Amino acid sequence: MTKRVLYLIACAAGPTQYIDEGIRQAKGCGWDTCLILTPSAFRWWEPRLGELEELTGHRVRSQYKLPGERDALPKADAMLVAPLSCTSLNKWGNGIADTVALGLVSEGVHLGVPVAAMPYFNRAQAAQPAVARSIADLRAQGVLYLDGPKGYESHAPKQGSPQSYPWHIAFDAVDVMTQGAGAGPRGVG
Ligand SMILES: Cc1cc2nc3c(=O)[nH]c(=O)nc-3n(C[C@H](O)[C@H](O)[C@H](O)COP(=O)(O)O)c2cc1C
């Protein structure tokens, strides 16, 4: 049986320094895992990109394709944005998809692909009025947004612990979200 494909999409937020751990956990949950980084997150990993490609067995994408360029990744059965930065949350909520990371999920959720997102930003960032609006807009579109006690609860400024990001909560939620979704449409690539 072919493995289900998960697009793990990571923004330039603290836990992305440990995205290799996120990939290991996704693979441990049985996902054929493809990694997509925002351009800012790509800069963090650029010197060690080979490690991530070896771990996933796929190219790491961070840029939109050129016109006529072929898909580099298999079609997605589910997508998880983790960690989701405050900036990407607000762009996504406002329909701005200027990174392939956001383009995939903005479109994917309206093509019937299960999409989840777990944030990582501090309470000062979370206090911006745009944040609550963006979260409500994503939920209204059908995105499973994992915050509060059932996801990631924003930390006090300067007191984050990106190494302790609860990846397992996100992967458990994606598992639940995709149960019975096997007969649905295949994703976008
Ligand atoms: C070292 C470093 C750590 C950062 N950590 C976070 C973070 O944990 N959460 C967050 O929302 N933004 C964080 N930022 C700010 C984002 O990287 C910035 O808003 C960026 O524009 C996000 O772009 P992206 O969402 O396209 O990756 C951090 C920036 C730096 C330089």
pLDDT (tens, 9 = 90+) of the chain, 189 residues, equals 689 999 999 999 999 999 999 999 999 999 999 999 999 999 999 999 999 999 999 999 999 999 999 998 999 999 999 999 999 999 999 999 999 999 999 999 999 999 999 999 999 999 999 999 999 999 999 999 999 999 999 999 999 999 999 999 999 999 999 996 643 444 455
- Whether residue 120 is contained in a domain is answered as yes
Decide: 33 and 60 in contact? Cβ < 8 Å.
no
Q: What is the CATH number of the domain that holds 64?
A: 3.40.50.1950
Q: Is 121 in the pocket of ligand 1 (CB under 6 A)?
A: yes
- Determine the distance separating the centroid of ligand 1 and the alpha carbon of 13, expressed in angstroms: 4
pTM of the shown model:
0.95
- Whether residue 38 is contained in a domain is answered as yes
d(CA 23, CA 34): 9
State which ligand 1 atom lies nearest to the alpha carbon of 101.
26
- Determine the distance separating the centroid of ligand 1 and the alpha carbon of 26, expressed in angstroms: 22
d(CA 121, CA 181): 30
- Whether residue 93 is contained in a domain is answered as yes
pLDDT at 159: 98
Domain count, the chain: 1
Q: What distance lies between CA 34 and its chain's CA centroid?
A: 10
- Determine the distance separating the centroid of ligand 1 and the alpha carbon of 38, expressed in angstroms: 10
Residue type, 52: L
- Whether residue 183 is contained in a domain is answered as no
- Whether residue 138 is contained in a domain is answered as yes
Residue position matching structure tokens 């995939």: 104
Domain coverage including residue 26? 5-178
CA angle, residues 165, 138, 129, in degrees to nearest 5: 80
